[in-house]
Structure 1
Amino acid sequence: MPSAERRVVKVRILDQEYCFASKGEEADAHIRQVARLVDERMRQVGRNAGDATPMQTAVLAGLELVDELLHMQRDVTSVEEDISERTNRLTESLGQLFREMETTD
């Protein structure tokens, strides 16, 4: 299998251009999407933060994004635990049902 061609993707975040190495069209699209979301968040934070410097804006945006990520990770963990508990109860119920069926045969 041939190696993926290395490419450069240029994006703009807060009117500053950044270049990233990429390994194909899917990676290009992903990088552009991430950059667009970062730019949107930084602009939102910048509007709310008033006279914050670009560095302060970046730090505040990073804190907000990581906070959201941690909340989502907790939510996923909670859902996984719920699914595990329900699966265990279902398995126990099915086991009990099969045992009852065996005793009636």
Structure 2
Amino acid sequence: MPVLELNHLYLEPRHLTLLQHILHQQVPHAEVWAYGSRVTGGAHETSDLDLVLRAPTDPKAEVAGYLALKEALQASALPITVDVRSWWLLPDSCQQEIERAYVVVQTGKLI
């Protein structure tokens, strides 16, 4: 599966820094992957950012803080919509599509 470098993510550095801060505050134990047009190309300034949350030790486990993260992202100064999904809720076909090209935005802390 092609894991792309963080610099392959089409997102301004200041917005990436803010995003990572929010992720660290709300879901520090989650592994967070970006996927979609901001990774694969074709994105423009107003394209949404697709993220998926995974538990580092067990991708099929639920990640605590999902709803708080969604609220924090909506209330943030990020100028784009961030669509957050939960890996454990996605069908296999969606998981396989994401695994074709993604960027690890946060590795997650092991507990």
TM-score by length of structure 2 reads 0.25
**Greater helix percent: which structure?**
1
TM-score by length of structure 1 reads 0.27
Higher RCO (C-alpha 8 Å, min separation 6)? 2
**Greater strand percent: which structure?**
2
Whose radius of gyration is greater, 1 or 2? Answer: 1
